[in-house]
Amino acid sequence: MSFRFRSAFPIFVCFLISQPAFSQIIWQENFSGPNQGWTQNFTDCDAPGFAGVQNNRFEVTDMEGAPCCPTGGGNDNEWVTNDIAINNYCSVSISVDYGSIGVFECVAGGPYYGCSGNVSIDNGHDQMVFEYSLNGGPFIQFFYVCGGTAGIASINGLSGNTIRVRISAANKAVAETYWFDNVTVTGVATPTVNQPNDVTVCAGQNAPVVFTGTGTPAPTFSWTNNSTAVGLAASGNGNLTISPPANLAAQQMATVTVTPTSAGCTGTPVTF
């Protein structure tokens, strides 16, 4: 007697498990060459001001931001990336180097947008806001700079189909310069398992199945089986051997589901 397994095609997903040791760069802008895919929109309410690439980084000097107010500006400036594809990655991270030159002011309670009518905010308060958007959705703040400081703005453990990064920087004096550089999106490549062939095996015989796939490091495989009558356990890890008993009285059929895992990332199972 014999039985035949049925096949299906894989679809890939990611789980939010951070494994930075195996991350790779998906997208990066270090402002030392051609535009890698971004736009800018800055408002200067009391020229002269500057926002653009300078000194191999993006610098912002005396840019109050829209809307322009009787008491200053509304802080609505932006540098924003185009959509960045992340659908083949999981544990996606963003990191941005940032810093400041000059003496900055910070009014607690921010970030602030729009005309407040308070000159200490509209014409004194300085801020940088770091945000991301997944799959075309709303922007979500992940880091906030109030006044002058330097460091790295970062977030880990993101997943989706696309991501955008937005940096909103506003300051109120020609002696104040914000800068940011090395805007980097990294992720762990989603592991895959190659589709196994259908298997037909007679009662009393053995049929080994060896799994292969892609991932860094090489993926491991776990599997489940919906019918132990075919001579295979209900679940296991690694390669498998189907051994239907010699006394089978009728043809049996089973579906085996195989899942690849690598560096904490899990690919969507395939069945055969």
Partner residues linked to 222 by β-bridges? 237, 259
Measured at the CA of 9, the angle between CA 5 and CA 14, to 5 degrees, comes to 120
List phi, psi (to 5°) of 229. -65, -20
Fold match between 2-15+191-271 and 31-188?
A: no
- CATH class of the domain at 31-188: mainly beta
Mind listing the pLDDT tens digit of every residue in the chain (272 residues)?
Answer: 333 333 333 323 333 333 346 889 999 999 999 999 999 999 999 888 999 999 999 999 999 999 999 989 999 999 999 999 999 999 999 999 999 999 999 999 999 999 999 999 999 999 999 999 999 999 999 999 999 999 999 999 999 999 999 999 999 999 999 999 999 999 999 999 999 999 999 999 999 999 999 988 999 999 999 999 999 999 999 999 999 998 888 899 999 999 999 888 899 899 99
User: CB–CB of 109/183 below 8 Å?
Assistant: no
Note if the pTM is more than 0.85. no
List phi, psi (to 5°) of 22. -110, 15
Sort residue 100 into left (φ over 0), alpha (ψ -120 to 50) or beta: beta
Residue 167 structure tokens: 């940096």
DSSP class per residue in 44-101: -SSS--EEEEETTEEEEES---EEEETTEEEEE-EEEE--EE-TTEEEEEEEEEEEEE
Domain map of the chain by residue range? 2-15+191-271, 31-188
Name the architecture of domain 2-15+191-271.
Sandwich (2.60)
